[in-house]
Structure formats: C-alpha cells, structure tokens
Structure 1
Amino acid sequence: MRKFTIILLHIVMMMLQSACNGLMDVEPENSMTYYNYFKTERDIEMIMLEAYRSYRSNYQYSTPRAVSGEVMDECSEYLPEALRILDATTINAAEPRCSWYSYYSSISQAMMVIENIDKAGLSTDRYNYWLGQALFYKALCYFEIVRDWGDCPYVPTSYKVEPLPRRPWREVLDMAIADMKKATTLLDMWDNLTDSKGNKITTKQIPGKEAAWAMLAHMYAWEGSLLNNKDTLQKAVDAATWVIEEGGIGWAADPEEVCTKVMIGGAPESIFEIEVVYSDFLMMSTPINLEYYYQTWPIRPYTVPGDVTKKQMKIKAERVLEMYPKEDKRREAYFYKPEEMIDSVETRGWALMQRRRQIIEDKTWSNPSSWFQNFSGNIIRTRLADILLLRAECYAKMGKDNLAKPDLDRVRARAGVSGYSVSEGPIYRAIFKEREKELLLERHRWYDMVRTGYWKTDMTKEYSELTDQDIEDGALYLPVHNGAFNSNKLMRQNRYWFKQQ
C-alpha cells in the first residue's frame, strides 16, 4: 500500500509539473484514481510536504531578484549583476532562475489539499490545521509572484490548467490576502502544532498563526505602499501589532545572539523560516544562504583573509563603517574588525563578513581542506525585528512619526545605538536604513526599496536613470520567462522587457 501511495504521489506531481510549466490544458485520464487518493490525513500531509519543498526550491538558486538588491560594492555573480545593471540579454538567457514555475507548483499542491480536504474525514482541529497550511502557502506564493513579476496568471483549479492571461497584480494580491486572512483564523500558535502522528512540529517552515499574521502584514504593507493607501497601511500596522503584542515572539539579547542563534533557525525571535536540510533534494554546496557569496575567513577553515578578494559579492570595509557607527554592536558582530580592513593590503579594503558562524562539512574527503561545503542555518523569512521595523515604516508612511519612533528605537537599542533624532532627517529614511543594517542579507532590501521608492537613490546608476514610463512598463519586475509562453497564447511579456528584446 505504501509503495502504491508513493507511485501515485509521483504521478500527481508529474501532472502538476506539466501543468504549471506552461499553464496549459491538463485533464488526467486517471482522474478517478487521483480523486480517490485523498482518504487519510497522511495523504493530505504528503501533498503538503511537496508544497513545502516546492516553495523551498525557489530559494535553491538564491532568488536573483532579491539578491540583486542586497548591499554590495562589487558583484561577479552573473544573474544578480545582470539585474543590477538591467542587462536584458543575460536575464532572458537565465531561464530556470527567473521562472515562477516552482511557486505555481507549490500553489497547485496547496490547492489539491484545499479542493480535496473534505474527503479525508478529519476532525475539526486537523481540518483547520491542514486547510490553514494550504491557504498560507497558496497566499504566500502568489505574494512572492506579485512582488517579482507584478501582473500574473491566477490558477482557478489544480486539476485542469488552461491557458490564462496575466491578471492585474492588485486583483491577485487581494485574493491572496483573503486566503492569508482566513489562515490567521484557522491556524493555531506554532508552539501548539502537531503533525499527522501527533508529534510536535519542530520546523518553522510549517507556519503557525503568528507567521500568517506576519506575512499578512507584509502583504498589506506592499499594497498600501505601492498604492499610497492609508487604510491598507493601517491594516498592515494592525497585523504587525498582533504579531508584536499577541504572537509571543522572543527577542534576541544582542546582535551576537542574532548571528549565533537566530541565523541557525528555530530561535524565539524567528517567526517563519525556510528549513535548509542538505539532502538528496539540496546539494551541500548550494548557495541557498547569501553569506555563501560573501564570507570566507575567519569562519571558513583553511582560508586566509585575502580570499575575500575572490568572493562573488563584496562590501568595502569603508562602507561598513559608514553603515554602522562605532557604538553599533552589529559592526563587530556581522563583520570581523572592519576598521583594520580599510587599509589592509591583503583584503584590498574589502570587509570580512562573519554573520553565519557555523559550517557544513563533508568529511568523506581525504583532505581536510576539502571538507567545507557551506555555512549552516535556515533562511529566516521573517523575525520580530523585521516586523517592528515594518510597522515603523507604515506608521511613518502615514505621517505618524511619533508612533514609528518607539519601534525604530527598540531595534536600535539592542544594537547599542541611541534613539532617533530629527537631526538625522526624515524618520521614513532612517527606518529604511535601519532595515538595511539589521536585516543584512535576509532578502528584504530590494523589496524595501520598491515599497519606499528608494530604488531611485539606493540601487545602481541604471535604476536612477529609469523614466516614469519605464516604471509604468514594469522595469522593477522580472521579465516573464520563455517557458510561460508554451501552449499559452494568452501570455504577454512585461512591456519594459519586451522593448529590450
């Protein structure tokens, strides 16, 4: 029976992959078998495990749109750099890494659960748990798609995917928000979650109520900021406030604890994560954590300070000192003695990052110098510092600087930095810069720039030269990848990138 279940699951996954890759007609001949599959809670769980894996696979190649916006003074990684300089030729050639396929695969898997959960005969609490999980991931994936591609198809069913046009991003996001709101009512707090066997959930990739509220805050903040809608921004504030006041989220003692515990995963400050498990599904050397591109000595064994000059992404030590004042504890927690690196001949002035402290080794190699494979830890998708600063940003956007200041100052206080003063300039700008410092390499900065409009001043020269028409045509989004046009005559390319072809 177990063998049959696994075979059937693979058949279903293959059907989904075919459907999502081209958004084409799929009517499986074995549809009766497909629908008879959902008999037990374990059946539901197996489909959701695939949804979790599909979502994680989007991060396997480091989400180039997000990576392109990270703090760096030099980049030799071809795709993030192409996005930084708006190089259409390179971007269009990078088909698999600029595809929304894995997001739609996760959406379809979640929808299979939503459409068939009534067949499994679940108790009310287990029904709510799995429906909440499915709605969360469906909503989250659409949010990710909207942020990276803007207008996109909205798939109505998992079992028959027809050619679909791109729908306005706001329509899609509003439907995703409705799903995430429902997830906040269905899911229990993460500490109370259990799997189909009654075992306590130990990974924060499986979301609880607090994760749903946190992502809802981000969704409202995105829509409210882009549309300059104060009512929606207030909803973002309300969602963030629930997380801060009702979510029971912890708070790391200092930046050192952020590096040594929060970045590993499962820490009390973390709200929602992507579990990084090096297995058959994920090679040890996959650059899933962005520190892979920046870090070497002193964390990586058998390296020397000068090896930083060979890394794909680098930050000048001078820039580190400008970002973090001397009293800022993040300066020495995130970087190794940056003051000494400014004039270092060996490092050529590049900063030595040490934000992830633990490593993954493969000791099957005979030479110990070959043991190092990666820096360990989960992808921290959102944590309390993020939500505090997001609420502060929304307050400031609405002109409520007095309410924004306490959240900003709380994050600063942990880092040993004095509170905000009007002499620094607009608090809205100060919050953006604080997010840049606190959430370094956590894949927030690009989206922060889009929300706030600071892509005009804080991205690259190429972005500062974009016209209003370029923005209206979609220059801040990814082009639709070629595979999305397969068997879909309704698909249309982003106007900005169409003109670059």
Structure 2
Amino acid sequence: MKRNYLLPLFFVALASAFIGCQLAEKPYSFITPNQFYNTASDAEAALTAAYTPITDLYSRVGTQVPDYSADQCFPRAVVGREQLTVFSYDATNDLIGQYWQHCYNGVNRANQVIENVPRVTMDETRKKQILAEAQFLRGLYYFHLVKTFGDVPLKQTSTKDIASTEVPKSKAEDVYAFLIKDLEQAVKDLPAQPKDRGRAASGAAQGLLAKAYLYAGNYAKAAENAQALIQSNRYSLMSNVLDLYNPLKEDAARVEMIFAAEFSALSGLVGYDLVGFYAPANSPPVFSKTAFGSAFGYMSFYKSFSPTDKRRQLLDTAYVNSAGVLIGQSDVTLKDRILVKKFLDPNSNGANGENNFPILRLADVYLIAAEAEARQNGPTSVAYTAINTVRRRAGIPDLTQGLTKDAFIEAVLQERSWELCYEADRWYDLTRTGKFKLVANVLNSYYPSRPVQDKHRFFPIPNLEVLTNSQLEQNPAWK
C-alpha cells in the first residue's frame, strides 16, 4: 500500500528544476536542504519522496510505453496510444515524455537523499540503510532510462539551479556501470527484510543487479547474482500462479514479489487504474468497478500458450457483460481481441485498484539465471533446473534436455514472454536481443500494419528535454 506524505516546499521547487522540466521563475523563499535535513524524520520523509515516482511511473506509462510496442497487447486507438503500436510516434509523444520525467524525478530525489542524509544526526544503522535504499532507487530509475532510451544524461548530483540541468548524454555502457555500482553497494547495505511494505531489501537490489548484468552482457555476474538470490531461500514461488495478482492476497504474494509498485485505492492515494483499462466496457464488477475497455491481448499470443498452462487462465476469449449476455469472439465488441485478466479488482474504487504491480519477482530471477547460465556455459543442468522450476509451477512439462545453446535461449525468452506477460518486460527482451522488428508480424484487424524500423530500438529523447538542455542531443536515429 502507498503512504501519503506532505513534502517540504523545497522538494517541489527542485522537482521542477531537474532534467525533465524548466523553471519559469526564480524562487525567492523556500525551505533549503540545509534547513530541512536536520532530523531522522526529515531523512525518512526525503526517502519516501524518492519512492513516489515509482507509482507515478507504473500507474500508467511505465507499462503502456513498452507493452503497447511489443507483441502481447494493444490499446484502443484513442488519445494517441496507438502511435506506440504502429510506430508513428516522434519525440513529442506525451507518454514517452512522461516516462522520462518520472524517472529523472526519481533520480533527482534519490540524489538529494544521498547528498544530504549523511550529515543528519540519527541512528547510524538506519542512516546507512536509507542511503542504500536511495542508491537502489537511483539504480532502478537509471535501469529504466538506459534500457528505454539508450545513451542518457548521467546525473550524479541533485539539481540545484538551472545551470545544473545542462548535462550531456553518457554512453549506455557508462550508465550501466554507474547503476551497477549503486546496486552492488545496496546489496551490501540493505537489510534482508524491508523496513516497510513497498521498500527495498537486499534481495531486491541483488535481483535487479542480476538483471542489469544480463542487459549489460556480463552473463557470469548475472548468473552469479541470480543464483545467489535463489539459493538464499528468502523467496519462493507461490504454488498457485493466479494468486500472485489477487489484491486480497498481496501479503501472501510477497514470498515471490521481491519488489513491486505499491498501489492503494483509498481516496487521496495512488490506485492502479490500468485494471479499468483491461476491463471490457459494460463488464461486471468482477473485473473492476469502472471499465474502459482500452487495452486487449493479441489472439496470436493467447494461442501460443499450451491449453494446460495455468497462466493462460489470466487471459480469456469471452466474458459475460453487466446485462448477463455472453460476449464472445463473434461479437463486434470483442472480435479479434483477448481479455487480459491478470489484474482484476472487483473491490476497486472506481477505476483505482489495489493491485500491486510486480517490478521484480522470483520467477523472473529463475529465468535470468537460466538465460545467463546458458549464454555463459551452454544449457547446463543448472540452466534446465532454473527454467523447469518456473514451468512446473505453470503446470507444463519440463523442457527436455539436449537443446542447442541457441534453441535453449530461445526457449527461455519464450518462457519469459508467458511468465512475465503484461509486466512491462517483453519489449525490452525483444530490444536487448535484437528481435524487436519481429513485432511487425504480429497483426490483427485493428492493426493490420506495424512498420517498425531500426530506429525504434530506443525511444526518442523527448523534444522538450532537447530544447531546454543545450548539451543534450537527440538520439541519432531520431534526428
């Protein structure tokens, strides 16, 4: 669940000055960091502020930008969302701009914590943990930025004035090196158990570190960290995969959910309103109290599942509407569309659900371990054990040994597609492996053409950022 805090005015002032915004006026009276960072409660409040961009990101654009681009789901063609699916967007696309802004907002707030908390007089153990949480968050935000945009500005200090927003891009490999260093320190300094729900523990840092190493191409380190987390026995797979997404079972799901964006349907807090996006219009409240019918799955993706795969139950080809009428594929309102039932909340507050959104869970770590091991050493018994652990929970047969290295890796990528569907992961698997142009073949009657090009490997840097930062150049393919 998400907590709500009143942030000091200096946070609001600085938040508008970081990369992603431009100050229109010079503030003459506000609380400065020197005035604010005096007590332990100040440090905790600053850390809470560094967490809030996670829910800002994942309440919508953090999933929409990658998922609408991939081969699992597509949006209803309204308010420009279809641009992501047909690759007609440019650097002025608002969803892409929001993605950038939320991440750099998080980077700036994490930097503020890292710079200012060391001088606060407080319990030294908790101070060390606060700094480690901030490093984890900074690493997380940069991981999102680098895998989405490629070369990006590497802000290592907080924004203090307009001049400090003028930062050039750093090479992707340098961004990975920086965020990996953050995560390695967080692994050392974070506690084994999180202080509160929705906070990072050392397992979250180690799991994200394994994933970052995988993306950076250091397969030995990716396998090492993934296996270390698995063998720590701090986490386990839920026996029923369907329970993972039930908001009434979110506490039980924490055995597998290593780190998640925590949402609350309570008034004044941030709810997960994508439950309403996936819920078909005029559907009964078993989906959500409010339904928009704005996103659906591809039939080809639904058919890729084995009929015995329990995860296929998170999708459907028909539903009974609020009038008690069965709406199936023959009905114009659902024809050639698949219902995404992974995130349901019949007790939602309107379109705001209680569903926590998984950012990292143990099944992902098992598949990172399988892929990294195979890329480093071939499809060893260790690699087979990792992937088959996930397959057994899904109720499908073990992957038979004897596959070539390439065939095994392809099987892992397919397993990732099934296991992590609609969790903002698939597009990045396609881009990091150079397979993203295959989405041009995933078509239907709503999107009969998807002309993806080489330049879509990374999204363009938002035009506003280029205009307001004289040292920032647009990605070459988007000039």
Instruction: Specify whether residues 122 and 446 from structure 1 end up closer, same or farther in structure 2 by C-alpha distance, changes over 3 A only.
Output: same
Q: Deviations over 1:329-375 (max 9, x none)?
A: 2223543779x98864474353343323433444xxxxxxxxx4244
**Once structures 1 and 2 are overlaid, which stretch shifts more, 140-149 or 92-101?**
92-101
Q: Aligned partners of 2:74, 2:94: CA distance in 1, in Å?
A: 23
Q: Deviations over 1:276-323 (max 9, x none)?
A: 123566565x63x4x54333389742999xx99x83332355642x22
Structure 1 residue 50: deviation in Å? Answer: 1.0
Structure 1 residue 87: deviation in Å? Answer: 0.6
Listed as ranges, the matches of 1:42-53 within 5 Å are 42-53=41-52
Partner residue of 2:446? none
8 Å Cα contact 2:384-2:399 kept in structure 1:
yes
Amino acid at match of 1:182: Q
Match of residue 400, structure 2, among 405, 416, 421: 421
Q: Aligned partners of 1:184, 1:41: CA distance in 2, in Å?
A: 23
Instruction: Specify whether residues 175 and 239 from structure 1 end up closer, same or farther in structure 2 by C-alpha distance, changes over 3 A only.
Output: same
Match of residue 391, structure 1, among 369, 375, 392: 369
Partner residue of 2:239? 253
Instruction: Specify whether residues 283 and 27 from structure 1 end up closer, same or farther in structure 2 by C-alpha distance, changes over 3 A only.
Output: closer
Partner residue of 1:220? 213
Q: Secondary structure at the match of 2:263?
A: coil
Structure 1 residue 146: deviation in Å? Answer: 0.6
Match of residue 224, structure 2, among 224, 238, 251: 238
Partner residue of 1:354? 341
Amino acid at match of 1:242: A
Partner residue of 1:311? 293
Instruction: Specify whether residues 176 and 27 from structure 1 end up closer, same or farther in structure 2 by C-alpha distance, changes over 3 A only.
Output: farther
Q: Aligned partners of 1:410, 1:490: CA distance in 2, in Å?
A: 48
Partner residue of 1:296? 280
Q: Secondary structure at the match of 2:92?
A: helix
Q: Deviations over 1:164-221 (max 9, x none)?
A: 111111111201110110010000112xx43xxxxxx2x1x21000000011111111
8 Å Cα contact 1:100-1:145 kept in structure 2:
yes
Q: Deviations over 1:101-139 (max 9, x none)?
A: 221221121111111222212233112111111111111
8 Å Cα contact 2:111-2:134 kept in structure 1:
yes
Partner residue of 1:366? none
Q: Secondary structure at the match of 1:58?
A: helix
Partner residue of 2:389? 410
Q: Secondary structure at the match of 2:254?
A: coil
Percentage of matched positions with identical amino acids: 21
8 Å Cα contact 1:85-1:460 kept in structure 2:
no
TM-score, normalization by structure 2 = 0.83
Q: Aligned partners of 2:396, 2:180: CA distance in 1, in Å?
A: 36
Match of residue 442, structure 1, among 395, 399, 423: 423
Amino acid at match of 1:400: G
2:134 paired with 1:152? no
Partner residue of 2:445? none
Amino acid at match of 2:428: Y
Q: Aligned partners of 1:303, 1:131: CA distance in 2, in Å?
A: 40
Instruction: Specify whether residues 316 and 443 from structure 1 end up closer, same or farther in structure 2 by C-alpha distance, changes over 3 A only.
Output: closer
8 Å Cα contact 1:210-1:247 kept in structure 2:
no
8 Å Cα contact 2:466-2:472 kept in structure 1:
yes
**Once structures 1 and 2 are overlaid, which stretch shifts more, 292-301 or 117-126?**
292-301
Q: Aligned partners of 1:263, 1:430: CA distance in 2, in Å?
A: 30
Matched pairs, number: 452
Listed as ranges, the matches of 1:80-119 within 5 Å are 80-89=81-90, 92-94=92-94, 97-119=97-119
Q: Structure 2: which 5+ residue stretches go unaligned? A: 320-325, 443-448
Amino acid at match of 1:414: R
Q: Aligned partners of 1:110, 1:303: CA distance in 2, in Å?
A: 36
Q: Aligned partners of 1:415, 1:162: CA distance in 2, in Å?
A: 47
Amino acid at match of 1:164: V
Match of residue 491, structure 1, among 455, 467, 472: 472
8 Å Cα contact 1:214-1:387 kept in structure 2:
yes
More helix by share: 1
Structure 1 residue 413: deviation in Å? Answer: 0.8
Partner residue of 2:323? none
8 Å Cα contact 1:65-1:148 kept in structure 2:
no
Partner residue of 1:365? none
Amino acid at match of 1:350: R
Q: Aligned partners of 2:118, 2:147: CA distance in 1, in Å?
A: 32
Partner residue of 2:184? 181
Structure 1 residue 376: deviation in Å? Answer: 3.3
Q: Deviations over 1:65-113 (max 9, x none)?
A: 3222250367525544312322135x62426744512212211211111
**Once structures 1 and 2 are overlaid, which stretch shifts more, 80-89 or 122-131?**
80-89
2:126 paired with 1:133? no
